[in-house]
Structure 1
Amino acid sequence: MKADPAVQRRLLDLAEVDAELARVTHRRRTLPEIAEIAEAEQLVRTKQDALVAVETTLGDLDRDVKRQETEIDQVRAREERDRKLMQSGSVGAKQLTDLEHELATLQRRQGVLEDDLLELMERREAVEADVSFARVELDKAREALEAATSRRDAALADLESTEIKRTADRSMMAKGFPDDLLKLYDRQREQRGIGAAPFQSRRCGACRIELDRSALSKVKEAAADEVVRCEECGAILVRVAEPGQ
């Protein structure tokens, strides 16, 4: 295949654009914000689970407190009924003794229940503080996730802008190449990542391998308009002036 040497040199400009587009694609897949978001999402789930756990405990304590208060009310109501009955004068001596004994028992029971209620209220207060702390921690985790998401979106927007511009540049540049040369370049780029590279100091700019004597002779003996390729990686070798020439 033959192509004007100036046209071949323009392949290096096209290769640079393609390299930049490849970097955009790679960066889009490997944005550090993606890993940050995954970690932030996991942290949010962990904090949500922690909040649910302490809220469940708080709900259980609320039910225990309500049940304890109900039982205390029942004891107080029973005590009040017995006192009224004693004060009515309508009970005999034996029943009066029984009522006095029951009142003493109810008072002891009320004392135990009130002590238990106080302990429950103290536990509830501590758990309520845990709930408040868990909510703050969840809010922090959500804020971190939102910040990481914003950074990712901004980075993706920048990459998309670069991709749109460079894709347009590539489309314009591609029109300046013969179809057969462009097809060869694109096929090589799709297979090996680099379609064309400079040839300098006996070395292929794509695979960075130094050509052996036989391959070097073929390149040097080839006509200026001959399209030559690296025997190792297949990239189109664009012959450029050596440094100092």
Structure 2
Amino acid sequence: MKASPADQNELLRLQAADTRLAQLAHAASSLPQAKELAALQPEVEALRARWIAATGELEDARAELGRVESDVKLVEARVARDNERVQHTASVKDVQALEAELASLAKRQSDLEEIELTVMQRVEDLEKALAAVDAERAEQDERIAALEAARDEEAGKLNAQREALATDRATIAGALPADLIELYERQRARYGLGAAALVRGVSMGSNVKLTESDLSEIRRAAADDVVLCPDSGAILVRGEDSGL
């Protein structure tokens, strides 16, 4: 293949752009904030599990308190009813029965009120425990939000660089012969590098000094001949400092 030395030299700019684009893509996929967010996930899930458990316990305790309070109201209503009946009955037998029931109700009310106080204390304790978990989650949410903001800001900067560089790359590639670009892309897809400079006999594609036999063959090539690095497979771009 033939290509002018100037066009071949432009391949180095193209390769530099592709190398930098790959670096930016790697940086975007391995942001430290993203890694930290991923590392936080077990903590997030553990804290969420604690919150669910604490919420469930509190709901159960509140439901129990509601049942006890309802029982207390029922007993109070029966006490009020029996007291009224005592006031309006003339039967000694009925009065004795009502007084016996009132004594039983008083014991029942006392027991329920004691249970009510115990459950109220448990509700209060569980509310404090849930508040503590809520505070932890709020602190964790702030940390996550800060990390996400930093990640997005850094990703935005990287994307802006990638877009600008992609535009420059398209301009460089658009000005080169199609067959030269096709060869460059093919070699880059195969070997990871499309073009490399030859500097003082060393291929920058492999960072290895070429053998005298390889250098002799390259010396025999015309300036507009496209030659490939025998080690890296990249298009070897020759210049004044190639050591030929």
TM range (shorter): 0.7 to 0.9
Match of 1:173 in 2: 172
Match of 2:98 in 1: 99
Distance 1:219 1:193 in 2: 22
Amino acid at match of 1:15: Q
The answer to whether residue 217 in structure 2 is matched with residue 218 in structure 1 is yes
Deviates more, 1:68-77 or 1:166-175: 166-175
CA contact (8 A) 1:41 1:145 kept: no
Match of 1:112 in 2: 111
The answer to whether residue 148 in structure 2 is matched with residue 161 in structure 1 is no
Distance 1:91 1:210 in 2: 123
**What does the per-residue CA deviation read over 1:50-82, in whole Å, with 9 as the maximum and x for residues that have no partner?**
333322222222221111111112222223333
SS of aligned partner of 2:90: coil
Match of 1:183 in 2: 182
Q: Tell me the CA shift for residue 11 of structure 1.
A: 2.0
Question: Where does the alignment leave 5 or more consecutive residues of structure 2 unmatched?
Answer: none
Distance 1:83 1:178 in 2: 108
Deviates more, 1:9-18 or 1:74-83: 74-83
Q: Tell me the CA shift for residue 124 of structure 1.
A: 0.3
Q: Tell me the CA shift for residue 154 of structure 1.
A: 1.6
Distance 1:167 1:106 in 2: 86
SS of aligned partner of 2:91: coil
SS of aligned partner of 2:79: helix
Name the TM-score, length of structure 1 as normaliser: 0.84
Number of corresponding residues: 244
Q: Tell me the CA shift for residue 104 of structure 1.
A: 2.5
**What does the per-residue CA deviation read over 1:154-181, in whole Å, with 9 as the maximum and x for residues that have no partner?**
2222122112211221222224433322
Q: Tell me the CA shift for residue 9 of structure 1.
A: 2.6
The answer to whether residue 70 in structure 2 is matched with residue 70 in structure 1 is yes
SS of aligned partner of 1:147: helix
Deviates more, 1:96-105 or 1:7-16: 96-105
Match of 1:128 in 2: 127
CA contact (8 A) 1:58 1:128 kept: yes
Deviates more, 1:180-189 or 1:82-91: 82-91
Q: Tell me the CA shift for residue 126 of structure 1.
A: 1.0
Q: Tell me the CA shift for residue 40 of structure 1.
A: 5.0
Question: Where does the alignment leave 5 or more consecutive residues of structure 1 unmatched?
Answer: none
Identity fraction in percent: 34
Distance 2:75 2:177 in 1: 101
Amino acid at match of 1:59: E
Distance 2:26 2:136 in 1: 34
Distance 1:89 1:187 in 2: 109
Match of 1:142 in 2: 141
**What does the per-residue CA deviation read over 1:2-35, in whole Å, with 9 as the maximum and x for residues that have no partner?**
3333432332222111111111222222223333
SS of aligned partner of 2:148: helix
Match of 1:29 in 2: 29
Distance 1:65 1:45 in 2: 30
Q: Tell me the CA shift for residue 114 of structure 1.
A: 0.8
Distance 2:134 2:86 in 1: 54
CA contact (8 A) 2:199 2:243 kept: no
Distance 2:86 2:169 in 1: 104
Q: Tell me the CA shift for residue 198 of structure 1.
A: 1.7
Distance 1:238 1:186 in 2: 15
